[in-house]
Amino acid sequence: MFNLENLNDEYFRKLDAGEIVEIKKLKTEDKIKCFKFFLNSDVITNHSVISNLYILVNGISDIDEDIENDDRAFFNNLEEYVDIKLDLKEELDLFKKKIVEYYLGILKGLIVKIPELKVHITNTHYNIFYLADPCFISKMMVEQLDNVNVKDIKPTFNAESLYDKINGHTYSYTYGIFQRIMSEFSEQDI
């Protein structure tokens, strides 16, 4: 049985598929609490939760027309989806900003080879990147790039594999282009 009193990382690690599906049955206010927790947690790995976070972050175009009959979606209808999204605007903006920071870190990680300079992407964001594509990244960049200080971007571990996953295995083709761009950034001390 799903329990709102246990909104912590350890609880979500142990949830089985049947308990995750129960989120759809919660009242909208309780779903808001769940999504607020998901957006602020660094360790979400459950595929259903990650998929629903992706839908919430990416936008309404990712919602199936028959959402009411889809047990995988935590949203009962479009109205509830919009209510949740509006209520969590601040948390969503911070989450999207972090996606942009990590993506820029992935790009920087393509050229930085010294492991001591690299940082790990949180599990939650790492798993979101596995659903991401160039359109998703572009959308996040348009929305949040002005809020990111590129001087603070740290290169990330697993940059090559994440870049390949997001961009359809084009790493080797575009590596030289990004190396040149990033070296120009370094020269300009951005």
pLDDT given at position 67: 66
Q: Is residue 136 within 8 Å of residue 167, measured between CB atoms?
A: no
Please work out, in degrees rounded to the nearest 5, the angle formed at the alpha carbon of residue 23 by the alpha carbons of 122 and 134.
40
Reading the block at residue 153, the tokens are: 């971007």
Give the model's pLDDT for residue 168: 77
| CA 134/CA 98 separation, integer angstroms | 16
The percentage of the chain sitting over the pLDDT mark of 90, rounded to a whole number, equals 57
Q: How far apart are CA 90 and CA 83, in angstroms?
A: 13
List, for residues 20-67, the tens digit of each pLDDT value: 778 888 999 999 999 999 999 998 888 889 999 999 999 866 455 666
pLDDT score for 190:
42
pLDDT digits (tens, 9 = 90+) for 113-146: 999 999 999 999 999 999 999 889 999 999 999 9
Q: Which two tokens stand for residue 18?
A: 């049947």
User: Any idea which of 10-19, 21-30, 55-64, 165-174 has the lowest mean pLDDT?
Assistant: 165-174
Identify whether the C-beta of residue 38 lies closer than 8 Å to the C-beta of residue 44.
Answer: yes
Task: Count Cβ atoms within 10 A of the Cβ of residue 173 and give its class: 0-12 exposed, 13-18 middle, 19 or more buried.
Answer: exposed
**Sequence ranges of the domains in the chain:** 4-87, 91-188
Q: How many CB atoms lie within 10 A of CB 143?
A: 17
3-class SS at 97? helix
Sign of CA dihedral 82, 24, 33, 48: negative
